[in-house]
A and B are shown apart, each in its own frame.
Chain A
Amino acid sequence: MTAAGIASPVPVVAARNLCKTYQLGEQSVHALREVSFDIQRGEFVAIMGPSGSGKSTLMNMIGALDVPSSGQLLIDGTDIGTLDRDQLAALRNHTIGFVFQQFNLLARTSALDNVKLPLTYSRPRRADATDIARSCLEKVGLGARMDHVPSQLSGGQQQRVAIARALVNSPSIILADEPTGALDSATSLEILQLFESLNAQGMTVIMVTHELDVASHARRLLRVKDGRLVEDRAVTGALTEHQS
């Protein structure tokens, strides 16, 4: 591990004794307790756990939407606990591509403009924003639907637009929270295959799910329970309830 002359690569996500405590009146809710892990560039990680186990809390921190109560969370080596609101916003803009269960596209706004949206918040501004957005839409197979507004697109197509939007800033991480939760199984499979192909091209993908067959598409599984990391292992082949 300490081979001289070889610098160990900076993990794209590094959790160090990560804790998050919510204060509800007198009561403290420990949503995350002493969680530590590294995620390297190019991984495809599924995060699983029962409801209330702390998955969303963890995702919020990996997405730089929230900061730890104690411990550290480093994204590309940057400790998000040291950043202010605007710096967090800039980090999200450059480093994270969000994909949500409910797609969260802007209504009455064309697919192209939806995909371009993160670039309008980028500094410095890119002159070739439209070209980048176009090529991202082509990458997700929607080259022919650029002018369609969300209401003219199917659920699967809307999620593809959302994935193109997540890709548009060439992020370090694609962060997907139950990305297939609102889709039928055939469409879900298409979306998961899209994630697999993006991962094959080198993109880091982190996905929260509660379905085993969705998690099977990942290559590493993190399980959380009561705010603790209880399992961290490689995924080979289909996962079954027995295996877990």
Chain B
Amino acid sequence: MTLAEFIATAMVALRRNVLRSVLTTLGIIIGVGSVIVMSAIGSGASKQIDAQIASLGTNQLTIFPGSMNVGGRQGGAGSAPPLTEKDLRAIRENVTGIDAAAGNMNSGATVVVGNVNWVTQINGSSAEVQTVRDWPLKSGRFYDALEASSGRKLAVLGSTVARELFGEADPLGTMVRINNVPFQVIGVLSEKGQAGGRDQDDVVILPLSTARSRLMGRVRVPDEIGQILVKVDDRYELSEVQADIERVLRQRRRIAPNATDNFMVRNFAEFLATRNATTRTLGLLLASTAAISLIVGGIGIMNIMLVSVTERTREIGLRMAIGASGSDILGQFLTEAVLLCMAGGFLGLVLGAGIAIVISTLFAWPVYISPGVVLMAIMASASVGVIFGFVPARRASQLNPIEALRYE
């Protein structure tokens, strides 16, 4: 028999008992459906996290003033001496493998234009921050190092702030009041999206010195810096550069060799990557649950195929009498099992995709159904058909034609 004939024969057999066929494949439907839903949710989440990691930059380090450990007593936050412009300069001058380093101070502020106001985060940053954060402009320009150090009141808006304050209008050249201090808008940043649950575009970037003197209130030292952002040159090992930064800062801040650091160097992309790995582990766990339901589904298929072989003993005997070989019979029942499983797999695919879409719309959760998973689901259900259809098919092919023909 040809494959087409095997399939046609199997279709006749399966149509003979449609309800039973569907019930039989329920295990496969549920198995494949849950694989699809879980992977859609899982890979949607990890795709989102991957995008966040890319937007944060995998080669970026952030340095914070850390709490100081005095005599075994952990000091409160901010008890460590602040980072300063001198620390920044020391890093720029003494650490190798740095593309750019920028100082940064954050604060909340209200931005007002006319009668529209918007509460947002302001970043007082050195001019280098654009390079460090690898953040292109949508329009206008960024301030340069000279403008940053000369106390000019210039502002670069994140795209969310620009949209909230100006709508479709062009903000360039407009004066905005930030905590009542007038600033001139010179640029609008391109969109970066969400990261770590925060809208990265809900921000205004200002020259660091201006922000420090006008908006940050009381500072502990005149050249205080909240954090130092460092972009590591691609050709250098991140961990080596990090160690070098720690060495330079310990030296500059005169930390004794056996004392702990009073600053922290963090890599956010790594942090998110760890979270991503957790998501993947969870996905793996759920996928194995799905695999178990596929196996249970396969056993159901085997059971019903054994019943089918018994029911059709006479038919098998007749086919053998008129010349079907053992492999013809084997092929016929294997085709039937595989077709049954693939039909179940396809229904599960449709069901799973449907549920994933519902979840994505109801809970605003990103879902993604990869072609690889679709292919895998179909191949997995076909394999279940081959594996669990083999025993019944083999039993059919080994029947004695005389006894099979006589079977009532």
Binding site for B on A (CB under 8 A): 60, 63, 65-66, 85-86, 89-90, 92-94, 98, 100, 104, 106-109, 117-118, 120-122, 125, 165, 169
Chain A nearest CB from B274 CB (Å) reads 60
- Specify which of B1, B314, B321 is in contact with A120 (CB 8 Å cutoff): B1
Q: Write the chain A residue with the least CB distance to B398.
A: A85
Chain A nearest CB from B326 CB (Å) reads 6
- Specify which of B315, B318, B325 is in contact with A85 (CB 8 Å cutoff): B325
Q: Write the chain B residue with the least CB distance to A104.
A: B318
Given A65-B321, A100-B405, 10 more A-B residue pairs with CB atoms under 8 Å apart are A65-B405, A86-B327, A89-B320, A89-B324, A90-B325, A94-B323, A108-B15, A109-B12, A121-B323, A121-B325
CA of A192 to CA of B180, assembled, Å: 113
Which chain A positions have C-beta within 8 A of B324?
89, 121
Does B364 count as interface, using CB distance less than 8 angstroms? no
Enumerate the 4 nearest inter-chain pairs by beta-carbon distance, A residue then B residue, closest first: A93-B323, A121-B323, A118-B322, A89-B325
Chain A nearest CB from B237 CB (Å) reads 66
Asked whether, in the complex, the Cβ of B322 is within 8 Å of the Cβ of A63, the reply is no
Asked whether, in the complex, the Cβ of B12 is within 8 Å of the Cβ of A90, the reply is no
Q: List 7 A-B contacts (CB under 8 A).
A: A65-B320, A90-B323, A92-B323, A93-B322, A98-B322, A106-B12, A108-B12
CA of A82 to CA of B318, assembled, Å: 23
Does B44 count as interface, using CB distance less than 8 angstroms? no
**Known contacts A108-B12, A118-B322, A121-B325; is-contact A65 B315 (Cβ 8 Å):** no
CA of A213 to CA of B220, assembled, Å: 124
Which residues of chain B (352-408) have a CB below 8 Å from chain A? 401-402, 405
Asked whether, in the complex, the Cβ of A86 is within 8 Å of the Cβ of B325, the reply is yes
Does B214 count as interface, using CB distance less than 8 angstroms? no
Asked whether, in the complex, the Cβ of B325 is within 8 Å of the Cβ of A66, the reply is no
Asked whether, in the complex, the Cβ of B322 is within 8 Å of the Cβ of A121, the reply is yes
Q: Write the chain A residue with the least CB distance to B13.
A: A108
Question: CB-defined interface of B317-350 with A at 8 Å, one 1/0 digit per residue?
Answer: 0111111111110000000000000000000000
Q: Write the chain B residue with the least CB distance to A177.
A: B405
Interface size on B, residues (CB 8 A): 22
Which chain B positions have C-beta within 8 A of A92?
320-323
Asked whether, in the complex, the Cβ of A120 is within 8 Å of the Cβ of B5, the reply is yes
CA of A120 to CA of B2, assembled, Å: 8
CA of A106 to CA of B319, assembled, Å: 10
Q: Write the chain B residue with the least CB distance to A93.
A: B323
Which chain A positions have C-beta within 8 A of B2?
120, 125
Question: Which of B1, B15, B405 has the largest count of A CB atoms less than 10 A from its CB?
Answer: B405
Does B16 count as interface, using CB distance less than 8 angstroms? yes
CA of A66 to CA of B5, assembled, Å: 28
Which chain B positions have C-beta within 8 A of A109?
12
CA of A65 to CA of B319, assembled, Å: 12
Which chain B positions have C-beta within 8 A of A66?
402
Q: Write the chain A residue with the least CB distance to B327.
A: A86
CA of A118 to CA of B1, assembled, Å: 10
Asked whether, in the complex, the Cβ of B321 is within 8 Å of the Cβ of A63, the reply is yes
Asked whether, in the complex, the Cβ of B322 is within 8 Å of the Cβ of A165, the reply is yes
- Specify which of A63, A108, A122, A165 is in contact with B16 (CB 8 Å cutoff): A108
Chain A nearest CB from B12 CB (Å) reads 6
Q: Write the chain A residue with the least CB distance to B5.
A: A120
CA of A122 to CA of B328, assembled, Å: 11
**Known contacts A85-B326, A98-B322; is-contact A65 B402 (Cβ 8 Å):** yes
Chain B nearest CB from A136 CB (Å) reads 13
Asked whether, in the complex, the Cβ of B328 is within 8 Å of the Cβ of A121, the reply is yes
Asked whether, in the complex, the Cβ of A118 is within 8 Å of the Cβ of B314, the reply is no
CA of A165 to CA of B1, assembled, Å: 17
CA of A224 to CA of B51, assembled, Å: 87
Asked whether, in the complex, the Cβ of B321 is within 8 Å of the Cβ of A98, the reply is yes
Asked whether, in the complex, the Cβ of A118 is within 8 Å of the Cβ of B323, the reply is yes
CA of A98 to CA of B405, assembled, Å: 12
Which residues of chain B (9-60) have a CB below 8 Å from chain A? 12, 15-16
Q: Write the chain B residue with the least CB distance to A57.
A: B402
Asked whether, in the complex, the Cβ of B323 is within 8 Å of the Cβ of A104, the reply is no
Chain A nearest CB from B403 CB (Å) reads 10
Chain A nearest CB from B79 CB (Å) reads 85
CA of A63 to CA of B323, assembled, Å: 11
- Specify which of B15, B16, B401 is in contact with A65 (CB 8 Å cutoff): B401
Asked whether, in the complex, the Cβ of A104 is within 8 Å of the Cβ of B405, the reply is yes
CA of A86 to CA of B322, assembled, Å: 12
Q: Write the chain B residue with the least CB distance to A121.
A: B323
- Specify which of B1, B5, B314, B328 is in contact with A104 (CB 8 Å cutoff): B314
CA of A84 to CA of B79, assembled, Å: 92
Which chain A positions have C-beta within 8 A of B320?
65, 89, 92
Which chain A positions have C-beta within 8 A of B314?
104
CA of A244 to CA of B324, assembled, Å: 40
